């Protein structure tokens, strides 16, 4: 592969003004659209030596056959043009964003003679008061249903209202008590508008004083033995309490913000949008976007936020994101064109908004995990993944049993390794194993020793070639002979690149075991390395095969880290080494003074302070760390 792209323009040909650029393939299809404050500086990043580029960026620029650009007046115009072209050309290497085209609102038509409440996606009804947006239509229907019990205002269509006005007979809603009946004269238009006013006032402020007033009226009616009125007031109170429970108060009443929680990995990003109006969470919306190129958090924010507000959602005064993009001022100007107020984009660092952002991030993390789990559980996706792995690695059969190994340590201490097993694309947690490695030189040596120990079970289940302790997932020491552990995998995977694969290949060769395919997955670029190969196998972005590789690698890493942390807690030297100001010499003095770990753990801060070189402050820190 040439290290310089044939279509690379000369540096002097690229302008330094703001603009938008497009990469096209040989057929003219637009592959990627991007914007830049300085086109020359931005495009130079794509034309760096190919071996220095991220793998996905390298795949995009080598797939492309040309690049073109359009100069604009400023960053705001660049943002607008970029979004327009993304929607027009649907480039495969841009963030794949799929979401509903608009958001449902609750609207009260104050401009009509007899106002009504309805669910709509049209935000341009003359004289209407809007509440929302809501995540789904059923969420609006649920709130209206409760509010109508408290304030039975009109909900019927205009045609039904006119028919009732002409006939003098109430519509069906009026007959069953779901409407005051202004059309049939049960109440006057003025009385109905007063009820609408209270409806709107409660939805706008959700003030509990209205609940208190209705409660007082209920008690007064009950004392006057007007039980019918008391029952109506009781039903109103119950309905309003239910509405209040559905809108959690999280910030001050004057706060209107949209808050984006984003969690991402190499392949996808999960987004949680919290819509806060009047200090209350009025709606929550979540979705997952696919990442074609390697993107930072700031770049994700820059891609996701414009697409949300271009689909019909009106930006509030403040939008909270995990990290500000480079062109935050331009993005704010673009958002203000779609909002009646000035829009501020900010990243919350502390306080209530930061706490709410953390909650949104937790929800996004869970959504990403659920997305991966559901995708892995799909039989068709698993079958496709196994077929693609078989083809990509040149295997004779699909890898129905895969084992993945990862090594974990803390600065060379407490070295452990994990083995996770996937059969038919699903985890077999009962066959997971952990390895405690007493002595090792580096990760490659650890991989070699662990695989030597594991492969010995395939040749002689009773052999003990290496003093590595094997522990099951539930903490039981592995006996010398175990039937399940002697099952032969179709594919061995190690977490790492060429050095780790070479160490694993050496162990496989020395064991004499044949018929097992070996590969490694390098985390940074998600490359698949085979033994004796100078170039990695590049699986298609967002393919089921790459997704399965990533999942089994992450599971092995999680399993190893969990065991390593457990061992660290048992290793008092490692625990004490984490206390600031406590070096190896003082750790040895502590253990010499108390004679045993058990006595040290029972010592008071005053007793610890008696040790030479340990003051009262450090003794308190040691005690607190041991209690943690």
Residues 390 and 362 in one domain: no
What's the confidence (pLDDT) of residue 626? 73
Residues 451 and 355 in one domain: no
What's the confidence (pLDDT) of residue 319? 93
Q: How confident is the model at residue 127 (pLDDT cuts 50, 70, 90)?
A: confident
Residues 369 and 383 in one domain: no
Which burial class, exposed, middle or buried, applies to 595 when counting CB atoms under 10 A from its CB (0-12, 13-18, 19+)? exposed
What's the confidence (pLDDT) of residue 23? 93
| 384 falls within a domain | yes
What's the confidence (pLDDT) of residue 484? 54
Q: What is the CATH number of the domain that holds 22?
A: 3.40.1440.10
| 191 falls within a domain | no
| 227 falls within a domain | no
Residues 80 and 25 in one domain: yes
- Whether the predicted pLDDT of 321 surpasses 80: yes
What's the confidence (pLDDT) of residue 598? 62
Residues 608 and 509 in one domain: no
- Whether the predicted pLDDT of 216 surpasses 90: no
**Edge-to-edge strand ranges of the sheet holding 117-120:** 117-120, 105-109, 128-131
| 183 falls within a domain | no
| 457 falls within a domain | yes
- Pair of tokens at residue 236: 């109103």
- Whether the predicted pLDDT of 318 surpasses 60: yes
Residues 269 and 397 in one domain: no
Cβ atoms of residues 143 and 159 within 8 Å: no
Cβ atoms of residues 546 and 539 within 8 Å: yes
Q: How do residues 487-517 score in pLDDT, each as one tens digit?
A: 788 899 988 888 889 999 999 888 888 888 9
Residues 466 and 339 in one domain: no
- Cβ neighbours of residue 210 closer than 8 Å, sequence gap 6 or more: 198, 201, 202, 240
Residue with the two structure tokens 């074609």: 292
Provide the phi-psi class of 64: left if phi over 0, else alpha when psi is between -120 and 50, else beta: beta
| 169 falls within a domain | no
Q: How far apart are CA 285 and CA 215, in angstroms?
A: 35
Q: Per mean pLDDT, which range of 429-433, 525-529, 561-565 is the poorest?
A: 561-565
| 147 falls within a domain | no
What integer best gives the mean pLDDT of the chain? 78
Residues 536 and 612 in one domain: no
Residue ending a domain, choose from 373, 397, 430: 373
Q: What is the CATH number of the domain that holds 329?
A: 3.30.420
What's the confidence (pLDDT) of residue 403? 92
> Domain span at residue 30?
11-89
Residues 613 and 597 in one domain: yes
Cβ atoms of residues 487 and 500 within 8 Å: no
Residues 279 and 352 in one domain: yes
Q: Is-cis flag, bond preceding 50, omega within 30?
A: no
- Whether the predicted pLDDT of 417 surpasses 50: yes
Query: Quick one: average pLDDT of 100-111?
Result: 72
Cβ atoms of residues 478 and 431 within 8 Å: no
Residue with the two structure tokens 């892995």: 376
Q: How do residues 222-266 score in pLDDT, each as one tens digit?
A: 887 887 778 777 877 777 676 655 554 456 667 888 999 999 876
- Whether the predicted pLDDT of 6 surpasses 80: yes
Q: How do residues 20-65 score in pLDDT, each as one tens digit?
A: 899 988 888 889 998 888 898 889 889 888 877 776 788 888 889 9
- Whether the predicted pLDDT of 424 surpasses 90: no
Q: Per mean pLDDT, which range of 119-128, 224-233, 368-377, 429-438 is the poorest?
A: 368-377
Cβ atoms of residues 382 and 424 within 8 Å: yes
Q: How far apart are CA 240 and CA 232, in angstroms?
A: 12
Residue with the two structure tokens 């099951």: 472
Residues 524 and 621 in one domain: no
What's the confidence (pLDDT) of residue 571? 57
Query: 3-class secondary structure for 100-134?
Result: CCCCCEEEEECCCCCCEEEEECCCCCCCEEEECCC
Q: How do residues 448-495 score in pLDDT, each as one tens digit?
A: 888 888 888 877 655 554 445 555 555 545 544 445 566 788 899 988
Q: Per mean pLDDT, which range of 151-155, 245-249, 314-318 is the poorest?
A: 245-249
Residue ending a domain, choose from 569, 596, 615: 569
Q: How many separate domains does the chain show?
A: 4
Q: Which residues on adjacent β-strands are paired with residue 417?
A: 407, 435
pTM of the model: 0.46
Query: Quick one: average pLDDT of 372-393?
Result: 79
Phi, psi for 48 (deg, rounded to 5): -70, 165
Q: What is the CATH number of the domain that holds 475?
A: 3.30.420.340
Q: What is each CA distance from 60 to 5, 20, 92, 182, in whole angstroms?
A: 12, 17, 10, 64
Residues 389 and 279 in one domain: no
What's the confidence (pLDDT) of residue 559? 84
Q: What is the CATH number of the domain that holds 617?
A: 1.10.150.20
What's the confidence (pLDDT) of residue 404? 92
Single out the residue of 5, 32, 9, 8 nearest to residue 21, CA to CA.
32
| 106 falls within a domain | no
- Cβ neighbours of residue 479 closer than 8 Å, sequence gap 6 or more: none
Q: How far apart are CA 132 and CA 93, in angstroms?
A: 33
Residue ending a domain, choose from 72, 89, 106: 89
- Whether the predicted pLDDT of 136 surpasses 70: no
What's the confidence (pLDDT) of residue 597? 58
């Amino acid at each position: 592969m040439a290290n310089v792209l044939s279509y690379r323009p000369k540096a002097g040909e690229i302008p330094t003004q703001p603009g938008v650029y497009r990469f096209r393939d040989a057929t003219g299809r637009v592959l990627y659209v991007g914007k830049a404050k300085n086109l020359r500086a931005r495009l130079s990043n794509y034309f760096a030596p190919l071996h220095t580029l991220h793998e996905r960026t390298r795949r995009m620029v080598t797939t492309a056959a040309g690049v073109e650009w359009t100069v604009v007046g400023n960053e705001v115009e660049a943002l607008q043009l970029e979004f327009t072209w993304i929607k027009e050309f649907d480039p495969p290497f841009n963030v794949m964003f799929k979401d509903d085209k608009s958001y449902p609102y609750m609207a009260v038509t104050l401009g009509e003679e007899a106002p009504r409440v309805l669910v709509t996606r049209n935000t341009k009804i003359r004289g209407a008061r809007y509440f929302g947006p809501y995540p789904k239509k059923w969420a609006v229907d649920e709130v209206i249903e409760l509010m109508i019990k408290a304030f039975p205002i009109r909900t019927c269509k205009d045609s039904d209202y006119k028919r009732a006005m002409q006939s003098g007979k109430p519509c069906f809603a009026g007959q069953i008590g779901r409407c005051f009946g202004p059309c049939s004269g049960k109440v006057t238009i003025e009385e109905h508008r007063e009820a609408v006013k209270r409806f709107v006032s409660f939805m706008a402020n959700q003030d509990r004083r209205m609940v208190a007033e209705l409660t007082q009226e209920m008690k007064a009616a009950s004392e006057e033995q007007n039980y019918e009125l008391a029952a109506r007031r009781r039903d109103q109170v119950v309905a309003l309490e239910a509405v209040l429970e559905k809108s959690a108060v999280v910030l001050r009443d004057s706060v209107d913000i949209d808050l984006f929680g984003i969690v991402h990995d190499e392949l996808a990003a999960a987004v949680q949008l919290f819509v806060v109006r009047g200090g209350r969470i009025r709606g929550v919306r979540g979705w997952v976007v696919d990442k074609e190129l390697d993107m930072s958090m700031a770049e994700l924010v820059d891609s996701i936020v414009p697409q949300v507000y271009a689909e019909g959602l009106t930006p509030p005064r403040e939008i909270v994101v995990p990290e500000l993009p480079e062109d935050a001022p331009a993005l704010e100007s673009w958002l203000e064109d779609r909002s009646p107020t000035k829009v501020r984009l900010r990243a919350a660092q502390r306080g209530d908004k930061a706490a709410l952002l953390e909650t949104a991030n937790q929800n996004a993390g869970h959504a990403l995990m659920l997305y991966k789990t559901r995708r892995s559980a799909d039989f068709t996706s698993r079958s496709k993944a196994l077929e693609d792995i078989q083809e990509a690695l040149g295997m004779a059969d699909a890898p129905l049993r895969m084992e993945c190994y990862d090594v974990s340590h803390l600065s060379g201490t407490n070295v452990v390794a994990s083995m996770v097993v996937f059969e038919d694309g699903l985890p077999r947690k009962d066959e997971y194993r952990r390895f405690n490695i007493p002595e090792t030189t580096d990760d490659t040596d650890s991989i070699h020793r662990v695989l030597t120990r594991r492969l010995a079970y395939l040749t002689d289940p009773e052999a003990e070639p290496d003093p590595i302790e094997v522990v099951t997932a539930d903490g039981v020491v592995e006996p010398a002979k175990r039937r399940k552990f002697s099952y032969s995998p179709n594919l061995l995977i190690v977490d790492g690149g060429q050095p780790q694969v070479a160490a694993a290949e050496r162990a496989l060769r020395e064991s004499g075991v044949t018929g097992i395919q070996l590969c490694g997955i390098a985390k940074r670029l998600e490359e698949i390395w085979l033994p004796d190969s100078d170039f990695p196998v590049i699986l298609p972005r967002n393919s089921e095969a790459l997704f399965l590789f990533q999942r089994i690698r992450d599971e092995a890493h999680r399993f190893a880290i969990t065991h390593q942390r457990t061992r660290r807690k048992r290793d008092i030297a490692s625990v004490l080494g984490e206390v600031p100001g406590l070096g190896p010499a003082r750790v040895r003095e502590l253990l010499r003074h108390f004679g045993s770990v058990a006595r040290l753990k029972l010592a008071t801060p005053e007793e610890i302070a008696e040790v030479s070189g340990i003051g009262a402050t450090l003794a308190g820190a040691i005690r607190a760390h041991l209690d943690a």
